[in-house]
Chain A
């Protein structure tokens, strides 16, 4: 692996993990009766930017390196399901995360100006929980894929 690819992979992992952590904090604040929406919306927009960064860096690594250098080794090893189930699922469900993150960021910005919309606060909390679960499943799948080589 070249230094550039290693750097891109590190940015992908760190960006994704930090974004997931930010969604966790956003969710914890949205569960309060009166969240600090200035703080929450800043976090939500940061998570969106990090997911885009994580998406872009993973795309280059996945398209140019994973299929030719990593996938054959996993399939030939003792845990081929790490690719056939975990990687296949991860690489595809990851595609929905930036769209979710954008919706969460827009909602928290709206709530900043309309803090009394309690139904939207609860709906956004539910959406953030879904994004958090998808993010954690994606990250956990990445750990399984990395550990299978």
Chain B
């Protein structure tokens, strides 16, 4: 049976969110640890935070469309749980990094 277009969008945006939040965590930690990366974000996007936002939006849009093209029957609940776990991981990475940074451990 052909899955509904809405189900395909739910699956593709869940995958896109997983990729985006993990990329964001890596980009945020990377920009703090590699000054050249933060400088590139500032020069290219006016402000490093805007750069992270624009790259997150671009990544999300790209992967949403790419995975929307897959037409097999998705197990939606599994993708939604995976999305929630990815967000927890990403948030813990970001908060953990800034905690260590504040404590001058990294």
Instruction: Give chain A's interface residues, CB within 8 Å of chain B.
Output: 55, 59, 62-63, 67, 81, 84-85, 88-89, 91-93, 95-96, 99-100, 102-103, 106-107, 109-110, 113, 117, 119-120, 122-124, 126-127, 129-131, 134, 137
Contact = CB atoms under 8 A, between A and B. Distances in A.
Contacts of A113: 4, 6
Chief secondary structure at chain B's binding surface: helix
B102 A84 contact: yes
Interface of B: 4, 6-7, 9-10, 13-14, 16-17, 20-21, 24, 28, 46-47, 49-50, 52-53, 56, 60, 76-78, 80-81, 83-84, 87-88, 90-91, 94-95, 98-99, 101-102
A119 B77 CA distance: 6
A74 B46 CA distance: 23
A48 to B, nearest CB: 11
B49 A63 contact: yes
Given A103-B10, A130-B87, A123 B98 contact: no
B86 to A, nearest CB: 9
B90 A107 contact: no
Chief secondary structure at chain A's binding surface: helix
A116 to B, nearest CB: 13
A123 B80 contact: yes
A93 B76 contact: no
Contacts of B76: 107, 110, 117, 119-120, 123
Contacts of B101: 84-85, 88
A96 B98 contact: no
Contacts of B84: 123, 126-127, 129-130
